[in-house]
A and B are shown apart, each in its own frame.
Chain A
Amino acid sequence: MTTETTTPAAQRAGSAALAGGVDTRRSRPLRWRKRRGPMIEDSRGIVSETDLRQPRVRRGMRVVHVFLSVTLVLAGLGPLLWLAKAAVTPTQDTLREPFALWPNGIDWANLSTAWNDIHIDQYFFNTVVIALGAWVFQMLIATTGAYTLSVLKPRYHRVLGSLVLATLFIPSVVLLVPLYLTVVSPPFLGRDYSLLNNYLAVWLPMAANAFNILLVKRFFDNLPREVIEAAQTDGAGPFRLFWSIILPMSKPILGVVSVFAVIAAWKDFLWPLLVLPDPAVQPLSVRLPAVQSQTELDVFLAALAIATIIPVVMFLLFQRVFLRSAGLGGAVKG
């Protein structure tokens, strides 16, 4: 349910990153090699090596380093470190001296209270289920759809492609009410059937994502046709071609789409709030604001910290995929 497409420069840089290192980024045709280089490495910028020999420039660069370190640590890491500290600090200390480091000791019990008493464990599990299901359905639709549009190309592929693409221009806000009513009484399923409180109500609308299809289709379009033709000559049918040739060659883009899918599902707030009214099935993003008023501040901050830890750890583990996706796809809105 996003309305953006890739920016040309981001595309170029993104495909360069996919191709395995920025050194191949210009003038050479894209190669889909397995080797993956770091995304951002030394490249020629404004300041040249000759500039750097001047002491004035050297001093300037040192200032830039200090400025970047200080700002980025303060802005990027600061709030999270504060959250980590406050999560294990008693409420009174946080309220009285928000920056004091545990004047009255560390309160580890906050974490277990948050986990057990306000059922963060349950909501955490719900969030994981929602993210996994959203991932499965988005991958299924994005790959089969892109395969139809890029490789199989039935007669109607142009019409179908434009209809899918057209939805990129429709902002998701216009879908809010009619989509909600669709979930309340879905078509073909009889009058009394409702998808409310059913995870399919979150998974399926997320799968109708034209941006994913476009991304995967562009990647499929750039796969070497000779390989596909060779496989077909060797007698591979469409299913075999899809499963054993196209998908294994497309791991980089599938990684990118996976990151998008999981992040979007993890972030989503308004839609699960509408279609999952039963607290027992709600994800963290919906429960956290709801429990705020009845929860003591220290326990609430512990809950926030728990909700943050998994995405942050995922990011630190798969940094390259995350940053590559960010460069490729533009900012992903929730």
Chain B
Amino acid sequence: MTTTQAPAATARRRRTPRTWVKNGGLTALAFALPMILIFTVFSWGPIVRSVVMSFQKTNLLQPAEFVGFDNFIAVLNDPLLGTAVLNTLYFAALALVMGFPIPILMAVLMSEVRRGKGIYSALAYLPVVVPPVVAVLLWKVFYDASPNGVLNTVLGWVGIGPQPWLQSQAQAMPSLVIEATWAAAGGSIIIYLAALLAVPPELYDAAEVDGASIWRKAWHVTLPQLRGVIFVMLILQILATAQIFLEPFLFTGGGPVNSTTTVLLLIYRYAFQNSLGGNYGMATALSVMLAIFLALLSWIYFRLTARWSTS
């Protein structure tokens, strides 16, 4: 990319505005400009502004003033922060336990059946198509705590008494996770199915020559071949669960007694639900801290996928 200004460089190589236009520089810029403008105003600019604002005291009414690390200290001293972090971790852990193995199992089974794969994939993907807000509002009806609630009726059929679901501190978070798992599993299943298609058939053939049973093939061929995708999905899921917002916001608003207040909900409250006007400094300070953690994760993720896709 670097042109040396050697004397041998002829007039053809010298860059003047005219040669620049002639060589397509202007048209290239015309094509690049929409992207550059949009990213400057709506991506790069706000990212920089976020970092700047985390060191400022600002609420749009008064001019911003620099306050050093005050915002960060205020956030770290907020007694709710610990709760929010723990709740977010709890959500992530529950989502891993409930939501992570199911799609793998379903995808492996679905890839084995000889007929009906198309219908099974469509059925599995259907919940993903439902708009997330609709899904949450629908499940909110399902979680009706009365004995005649939808899920409580189902539990009644198998002889289990009515559960309080969203109204109890202990059950609110698991309820959120169940809905989130239902809403997301289909997407993961499709990804695992695609990965299973990419397993080289020769590996199975070779295993059979060695007399491997179905279980041994699944354990020694399929799972190792899926290892890469499983790890990627793991990181993607952690990235997604760390930013969980919609479910606690719409199901419970963070309650009961802050048992479902997550980090993102806290950011939202700092900025947009503050009786003293938006505390944008604290909101951005917490966003920046969360973002650094997540950016590290996505960097690891990207390095791994880049290595795998080149190898």
Contact = CB atoms under 8 A, between A and B. Distances in A.
Interface of A: 3-14, 16-17, 22, 25-26, 38, 40-48, 50-51, 57, 61, 64-65, 67-69, 71-73, 75-77, 79-80, 82-83, 86, 95-99, 137, 140-141, 144-145, 147-148, 152-155, 158, 160, 163-164, 167-182, 184, 186-187, 204-205, 207-208, 210, 213, 237-239, 242, 266-267, 269-270, 274, 284-286, 288-289, 292, 297, 300-301, 304, 307-308, 311-312, 314-316, 319, 322-323, 326-328, 330-334
28 contacts: A7-B233, A9-B198, A11-B309, A13-B195, A14-B194, A46-B112, A83-B138, A98-B148, A153-B28, A168-B298, A171-B294, A171-B298, A174-B50, A176-B287, A178-B45, A179-B42, A182-B49, A204-B38, A286-B133, A289-B250, A301-B141, A304-B134, A312-B129, A312-B130, A315-B126, A326-B190, A330-B191, A330-B233
B216 to A, nearest CB: 10
Given A67-B109, A285-B134, A289-B137, 17 more contacts: A40-B121, A41-B117, A47-B112, A68-B110, A95-B148, A154-B24, A168-B302, A171-B294, A176-B268, A177-B278, A187-B45, A267-B133, A270-B249, A285-B132, A307-B131, A316-B122, A331-B191
B131 A285 contact: yes
A12 B187 contact: no
A13 B193 CA distance: 9
Given A25-B198, A45-B112, A327 B153 contact: no
A239 B27 contact: yes
Contacts of A315: 122, 125-126, 129
Nearest to B286: A173
A140 B250 contact: no
B228 A8 contact: yes
B222 interface: yes
Contacts of A73: 123
B39 interface: yes
A171 B34 contact: no
B191 A327 contact: yes
| Top 9 closest pairs, chain A to chain B, by CB | A13-B194, A44-B201, A145-B35, A327-B194, A331-B187, A9-B195, A178-B46, A174-B291, A76-B123
A61 B113 contact: yes
Interface of B: 1, 24-25, 27-29, 31-32, 34-36, 38-39, 41-47, 49-50, 53, 60, 106, 108-114, 116-118, 120-134, 137-139, 141-142, 144, 146, 148-150, 153, 182, 184-188, 190-191, 193-198, 200-201, 204-205, 208, 214, 217-218, 221-222, 226, 228-229, 232-233, 236, 239-240, 243, 245-246, 249-250, 264, 267-268, 271-272, 278, 280, 283-284, 287-288, 290-291, 294-295, 298-299, 301-302, 305, 308-309
B214 A68 contact: no
A284 B134 CA distance: 9
A99 B112 CA distance: 34
Contacts, number: 357
Interface of A is mostly: helix
Contact of B47 (A175, A284, A331): A175
A210 B39 CA distance: 9
Given A46-B214, A73-B123, A155 B197 contact: no
B125 A326 contact: yes
B229 A7 contact: yes
A299 B243 CA distance: 32
B78 to A, nearest CB: 16
Contacts of A99: 150, 153
A208 B34 CA distance: 10
Given A65-B113, A322-B125, A326-B125, A154 B130 contact: no
B79 to A, nearest CB: 22
Contacts of A207: 38, 42
A60 to B, nearest CB: 8
B138 A79 contact: yes
Contact of B134 (A25, A163, A238, A288): A288
Q: Which of A47, A153, A300, A331 has the most CB of B within 10 A?
A: A331
Contact of A171 (B46, B141, B291): B291
A251 B137 CA distance: 36
Contacts of A98: 148-150, 153
B186 A76 contact: yes
Contact of A186 (B41, B246, B294): B41
B298 A323 contact: no
Nearest to A41: B117
Contacts of B32: 144-145, 148, 152, 154, 160
B49 A178 contact: yes
A173 B243 contact: yes
Contacts of A48: 204, 208
Contact of A10 (B111, B146, B149, B195): B195
A208 to B, nearest CB: 4
Contact of B39 (A9, A77, A163): A163
Contacts of A266: 131
A122 B36 CA distance: 35
Nearest to B212: A46
